[in-house]
Amino acid sequence: MTRDEPSAAALAGRLIASPGAAIVLAEWADPGGGHPPRYIAPLHVHHEDDEAWYVLAGALVVRSGDIDIEVPAGGAAIVPRGTPHTYWNPQAGPTRYLLVMTPRIRALIDALHALDDRTPETVAAVFTTHRSEFLGWPRGQP
């Protein structure tokens, strides 16, 4: 698909982005964790990129700075660049959501998923490479 061609591709567990696009959409799912939270991402900051979530089914909690935002199905949350954040599924059951991100955030996620060595130092270095900052796992969760 080129930048000039509109797309109506089925998302269902995949991502959609055109070359040179400013945003990437990805549909993701989480099986659930309940209490205490099982964080989907560590606490981190994107220094130059905004990030957003739209919940399709279930719920998410997005921590933006010092505020926890409960996002039900049909709801959305946006975290502006420069704001520490993380997120998790607060329910025991599954949730499905769209992650709206920049290509740089997508590259960061791909690089993190490719790591064999997940020491805090290695993870921090990957975040730094993508103009972001790793702040650790809330409550010490690995």
Does residue 142 sit within a domain? no
Q: How many folded domains does the chain comprise? A: 1
Share of the chain above pLDDT 70, in %: 86
Question: CATH number, domain at 47?
Answer: 2.60.120.10
Q: Which two tokens stand for residue 142?
A: 């690995």
pLDDT at 137: 86
Is the predicted pLDDT of residue 4 greater than 50, yes or no?
Answer: no
Tokens read off for 118: 């997940």
The DSSP symbol for 14 reads S
Q: What are the pLDDT digits (tens) for 91-122?
A: 999 999 999 999 999 999 999 999 999 999 99
- List 90's β-bridge partners, or say none: none
pTM: 0.85
pLDDT at 35 (0 to 100): 77
Whether 57 is covered by a domain: the verdict is: yes
Residue 16 lies in a domain: no
Q: What per-residue confidence (pLDDT) applies to 84?
A: 98
Q: What is the mean pLDDT of residues 14-38?
A: 85
Backbone angles phi, psi at 104, to 5 degrees: -65, -40
Q: Which structural domain, as residue segments, surrounds residue 133?
A: 22-137
- Per residue in 2-35, is it b (16+ CB within 10 Å) or e — as a string? eeeeeeeeeeeeebbbeeeeeebbbbbebebbee
Going from the C-alpha of 81 to that of each of 34, 73, 93, the distances in angstroms are: 28, 24, 30
